[in-house]
Amino acid sequence: MRSGGALPTDVPLHVERSGREPGAGVETFLLLHGYGASTFMWRHWTPLLGRRGHVVAIDMKGFGRAPRPDDDRYAPEHQAELVARLVAAHDLWNLTLVGHSLGGGVALLTALALQDEGGGRLRRLVVVAGAAYDQKLPPFARLAGYPRASALAFRALGAPRVVRAVLRSVVHDPARVDDEQVRGYAEPLGTRDAVRALIAAARQIRPQELERVTARYRSLDVPTLILWGREDRVVPLWVGQRLARDLPDARLHVFDRCGHLPAEELPDESWAVLESFFDER
C-alpha cells in the first residue's frame, strides 16, 4: 500500500493510498476507522475497494501511525475538521466516505462540513455501526474519566492483553478473535503517547453540540448505506434504525450473528452488501 502525498504540517493524520490512480471518472473511497483502531481494520475491504477506485485510508489523529499532539483536541468535531481539510488538500472528488463506530460519527460530521462548503464532492456515505446519537457510553469511555488510573492499568496489563479482552467483548463470537487481529490492533498502542491520546479521545468522544448536529442529519441527501450487527453491544442497533429514518436517502442492513465489527466478523457477507450498494448507486 503506497503512502499518501504531503499534507499541510498542521494536519496530523496518517494517510495510506492504494487502488486505482485518481483521475476523471475514478471513484475515491475514504476510510475512517473506529476508536482505538487504525487502517488495519479495513484490511479485508481495502484491496476489493482498490479494484473499483482510489482508496484513501486514514489513521485519525492520535491513532495508528498518526501524530499524537498533546493539545486536547481529539473530539469527533476536531477529527472531522482535519478530514475535511485533507479532502481539500488532496482535492478529492467523486467521494464515498466510509466510517466505522467513532469513524462513522466523524464521517457524518465530515459530510455535513463538505455540504456546507458546496461543490458536490460527496457521492455516497457508508456508516458502519456509527456513533451518531446520544447513548450510554461504552466501558472504555467511562473509564477514561479516571485518566491516571486508566493509563496505569493499561500499561500494567499491556496493549495485547487489553486489545484481546476488548475485541472479545465487542464481537458476537469471542472464540474467533485471533492473534493476527490482536497484533494488528495492539501494535500502535505500545507507547505512553498512544495511551495518552487514547484516553483523551475517549474523554471527548461525545460531540459538544450533538443535538444540533443530529438535527442536521435530515439535510444529508446523499445515498447512504448503514451496516449494523444485530448483537452490537457498543453502539446499539436502535442508533442505526434511527439514523436510517433521519437520513433522507438511506438503507439499513442488519447482519445476524454479528457484533460491533461487521467488516471483521463477516468480511465476505459485508462486502457483498457494500458492493451491491455501489453497483446500484
What is the rounded CA–CA span in Å between residue 65 and residue 46?
A: 17
Say what the pTM is.
0.95
Task: Quick: pLDDT tens for 233-252.
Answer: 999 999 999 999 999 999 99
- Pick the closest to residue 95 from 53, 45, 48, 60 (CA basis): 53
272 found inside a domain: yes
What is the rounded CA–CA span in Å between residue 18 and residue 181?
A: 21
Give 13's Cβ-side CA count (13 Å radius).
Answer: 32
110 found inside a domain: yes
239 found inside a domain: yes
Residues 6+ apart with CB under 8 A from 58: 13, 14, 15, 16, 30, 31, 32, 33, 39, 66, 83, 86
The pLDDT of residue 143 is 76
Q: What is the CATH number of the domain that holds 268?
A: 3.40.50.1820
What is the rounded CA–CA span in Å between residue 175 and residue 280?
A: 36
Number of domains comprising the chain: 1
User: What's the grid cell of residue 216?
Assistant: 442536521
251 found inside a domain: yes
240 found inside a domain: yes
The pLDDT of residue 5 is 53
What is the rounded CA–CA span in Å between residue 185 and residue 188?
A: 7
Strand order in the sheet with 27-32: 2-3, 14-19, 53-59, 27-32, 95-100, 122-128, 224-229, 250-255
156 found inside a domain: no
Reported as type and span, the H/E element at residue 19 is: strand 14-19
The pLDDT of residue 142 is 77
169 found inside a domain: no
Give yes or no for a contact between 102 and 200, defined as CB atoms under 8 angstroms apart.
Answer: no
pLDDT in tens, the chain (281 residues): 555 555 666 789 999 999 999 988 999 999 999 999 999 999 999 999 999 999 999 999 999 999 999 999 999 999 999 999 999 999 999 999 999 999 999 999 999 999 999 879 999 999 999 999 999 988 877 777 788 888 888 889 999 999 999 999 999 999 999 999 999 999 999 999 999 999 999 999 999 899 999 999 999 999 999 999 999 999 999 999 999 999 999 999 999 999 999 999 999 999 999 999 999 98
Q: Which domain holds residue 239?
A: 2-138+210-280
10 found inside a domain: yes
